Amino acid sequence: MKLDLSSNKDFWAGIMFAGTGAGAMFVARNYPFGTSLHMGPGYFPMVLGGILIAFGIYVMLRGLRKNEKIQGNWSIRALVILPLSIVIFGVLMELAGFIPALAALVFISAASGREFRFVEVLLLTLFLGALSVALFIWGLGLPYPLIKGLA
Amino acid sequence: MEIFHNLVFGFSVAFTLQNIFYCFLGCLLGTLIGVLPGIGPLATIAMLMPITFNVSPTAALIMLAGIYYGAQYGGSTTAILVNLPGETSAVVTCMDGYQMARQGRAGAALAIAALGSFFAGTFCTLLIAMFGPPIAVIALKFGPAEYFSLMLMGLVTAAVLAHGDMVKSLAMVAMGLLLGCVGSDVDSGVKRFTFNIIEMADGIGFVVLAVGIFALGEIIGNLGDPEERTVFTSRVTKLFPTKEDLKRSLGPIVRGTLLGSFFGVLPGTGPAIASFSSYMVEKKMSKDPSRFGHGAIEGVAGPESANNADAQCKFIPMLTLGIPASGVMALMLGALTIHGITPGPQVMTKNPDLFWGLIVSMWIGNLMLVLLNLPLIGLWVSLLKVPYRLLFPAIMVFSSIGIYSLNNSPFELYLTAIFGLIGFVWMKLECSLAPMLLGFVLGPMMEESLRRALLISRGDPLVFFKRPISLAFLIATVVIIIVMVAPAVRKRRSDITD
């Protein structure tokens, strides 16, 4: 039987747990461990890291035995574009103001879907923009300039 | 009659114009997001947290609570009419509710769901009013050892009762506890896992984590695997259930309420567990189990009462012990803290208007939901016709503004983006998110209690077994694990969740 690890669900889950645990223990190695009377800041993370490694190895081995596949699609498009749209929103809030940031967010995030209709997205932007300005800026008085340099 | 006196006081608080308005607003919003699949109460409450900074703590809590239990009502509407759970707790309702709708009895199903929820809501309001004060009195005697054992029990319960793999859920609890360590250590001031980023010194914000994983991660998942929506076409007629319906539903409603209340008080269990259990019980008790899955009204009445009872009883540990039994309750605690109220057993005596006003408002809110939902069903159904491609950018906008307004800085947004990616990977690997979130919330409290308990006992780890209440919690934890690992239960459990 050929073992295909690339989509083995529990194999990767185990790697993820054990890797996180090992990483945590590595980072926490310099925090004072303390004694059980006076637990140091390193105590809890070290113990948790160890627990995660143990769980991770168990889950990984079980994955090799059961070999269950990861379900569904990976939607690489959404996976890249959606987080990016939030980051761009953050950057534009600093550089350009509320309205450009919001418009960019709607357009970019809408582009991560399967259908993108320009007019529809434009109308959605106008609607959400008007609603957000009314609700957050005027209603709640959040102190963000609508467009930097202008207002 | 002290309870009577307290409830009257609660009414006087809840019936002010402002509080009634926020209760209504919360219920309306809750129903709205409950109806819409793909956005849950957790993400909504997280998004709206900034808004509540401007109102009184009582009004804020009343509104946030309204969103929470309103979502349970809304979720069932979608389940019955579209065969799509608006909320995870409504998964069970799909089975018989949608069948009833196909037989032209959608009205009866909706009405029974609403009435059952209302009964459960009323029962739980009384339950909190009766048992809240005595629990708080006991809780005042809790030391760090008791708190630690109680939280341990909550986390283990959350993991073993979560959907899916128990071992992975336990690992996710550890993952959450680890994420909770991020930031300055309270005792020593050592900055842990901050990677020299100043913004990380305060730790990861709960809202950031919740929105990243639940809003963003879920949108990414939904875009990859779009759900088919077959919007119900025929009109909802004949809202009133027949006499026969009512007779059949009475037992399930009462049993569902009791089951839901039991699971509700237990930390770590979600409303989905309560409604699944109720469904199984009703199927077992029925004289003709074959009717289930083909439009049995008992299969709607029981689970719907159970999930509402669960949602409402989750307030008991939150209000009396200051321990969040679910992610939503963690947000409620956060809202309290923002308003300068220290959560814990003393809330009842120090802020009686908040405590009793909130409890009574939940009953008023439940009444509103019955009156609000049934006539507005047409409106909710038409909302379902809004395509997802228009919905998710809106969720993105409100989430992002909410996150940015936490600190008026973009850093939290970057962190949210990262957690969105991580959350999506976790979802793909079928690691339960709820236990992780609970671990994250309880982590700092747990570490603190562990430290203090050991300090008081001069480093003797047996302190957790020497104190009777703490020992009781630990025994309960072990019992829960043994029961869940037992082969018979394990098999049944997989029957339920599959």
CA torsion B301-B302-B305-B309 (nearest 10°) is 180
pLDDT in tens, B32-74: 888 877 677 887 887 777 677 778 889 999 999 999 988 888 8
Q: Which residues partner with A34 through β-bridges?
A: A39
Which pLDDT belongs to residue B210?
83
CB contact under 8 A, A128 and B431: no
Token pair belonging to A68 = 């269950």
Helix (H, G, I), strand (E, B) or coil at B184: strand
DSSP reduced 3-state for B125: helix
Contact assessment for residue B222 and residue B392, using Cβ atoms and an 8 Å cutoff:
yes
Enumerate the residues of chain A whose CB falls inside 8 A of the CB of residue B166. none
Does the distance separating the beta carbons of A73 and B167 come in below 8 Å? Answer: no
Nearest-neighbour CA in chain B from A1: distance (Å):
23
The answer, yes or no, to whether residue B240 has pLDDT greater than 80, is no
Is residue A80 within 8 angstroms of chain B, CB to CB? no
In a domain, residue B232? The reply is no
A45: chain B residues, CB-CB within 8 Å: 178, 181, 192-193
B408 Ramachandran zone, left/alpha/beta (phi>0; psi -120 to 50):
left
Rounded to an integer, what distance in angstroms lies between the CA atom of residue B215 and that of residue B43? 6
Written as six digits, the tokens of A7 are: 């989509």
Residues 115-134 of A with CB under 8 A from B: 115, 120-121, 124, 128, 132
Residue among A17, A70, A109 whose CB faces B392 most closely: A109
Beta-carbon separation of A48 and B193 below 8 A = no
Predicted TM-score (pTM) of the model is: 0.83
Number of C-beta neighbours around residue A53 at 10 A:
20
- Partner A contacted by B50 (CB < 8 A): yes
Q: pLDDT by residue (tens digit) across B345-385? A: 888 888 888 999 998 999 999 899 888 777 787 787 777 77
- Pairwise CB contact (< 8 Å): B223 & A93: no
A91 touches chain B (CB under 8 A): yes
Interface of A with B in 19-38 (CB under 8 A): 20-21, 24, 27-28, 31-32, 35-38
Q: Is B171 on the interface with A (CB under 8 A)?
A: yes
Residue B432 is given by DSSP the state: -
Of A1-15, A51-65, B476-490, highest mean pLDDT: A51-65
Q: What is the mean pLDDT of chain B?
A: 84
Residues 339-378 of B with CB under 8 A from A: none
pLDDT of residue B168: 92
Every domain of chain A and the residues it spans? 9-66, 76-139
Q: What are phi and psi of A34, to 5 degrees?
A: 75, -175
Predicted ipTM beyond 0.90 = yes
The reply to whether residue A37 touches residue B425, judged by beta carbons under 8 angstroms, is: no
Q: Within a domain: residue B94?
A: yes
CA neighbours within 13 Å on the CB side: how many for A129?
A: 19
Domain encompassing residue B300? 2-227+237-497
Nearest to A46 by CA among B177, B195, B173, B167: B177
Give the count of domains, chain B.
1
CB distance from B427 to chain A under 8 Å?
no
Q: How many Cα atoms sit within 13 Å of B64 on the Cβ side?
A: 29
- Other CB atoms within a 10 A radius of the CB of residue B391 amount to 18
Alpha helix (H) ranges present in B293-431? 298-313, 315-321, 327-338, 347-350, 352-383, 388-407, 411-428
Q: How far is CA B417 from CA A87, B400, B424, in A?
A: 7, 10, 11
Is the alpha carbon torsion for B266, B319, B341, B327 positive or negative? positive
CB atoms within 10 A of CB B128: 25
Given its phi and psi angles, is residue A97 left (phi above 0), alpha (psi -120 to 50 degrees) or beta?
left
Q: How confident is the model at residue B490 (pLDDT cuts 50, 70, 90)?
A: low
- Cα A93 to Cα A89: distance, rounded to the nearest angstrom: 6
Q: For residue B196, with 0-12 CB atoms within 10 Å meaning exposed, 13-18 middle and 19 or more buried, which class applies? A: exposed
The beta-carbon neighbor of B181 closest among A44, A90, A109 is A44
| A49, A59, A86: residue with CB nearest B416 | A86
Q: What is the model's pLDDT at position A16? A: 96
